[in-house]
Amino acid sequence: MSDNQPKKKRKLTSGQKALLTTMKILSVPIFAFIMFMIGMATGYRYGGGAAGEVFEGSTWRNIFLIIFG
Q: Please indicate, yes or no, if residue 7 is contained in any of the structural domains.
A: no
pLDDT tens-place string over residues 2-61: 667 777 788 889 999 999 999 999 999 999 999 999 998 899 889 888 888 888 999 889
Q: Decide if 50 is inside a domain.
A: yes
**Number of structural domains in the chain:** 1
> What pLDDT is attached to residue 52?
86
8 inside domain:
no
Give the domain range for residue 22: 14-68
pTM given for the model: 0.63
Contact of 53 with 45, CB cutoff 8 Å: no
Q: Is residue 33 part of a domain?
A: yes
Residue pair 54/40 in contact (Cβ under 8 Å)? The answer is yes
Per-residue b or e along 4-36, where b marks 16 or more CB atoms closer than 10 Å to that residue's CB:
eeeeeeeeeeeeeeeeeeeeeeeeeeeeeeeee
Q: Are 48 and 57 in contact (CB under 8 A)?
A: no
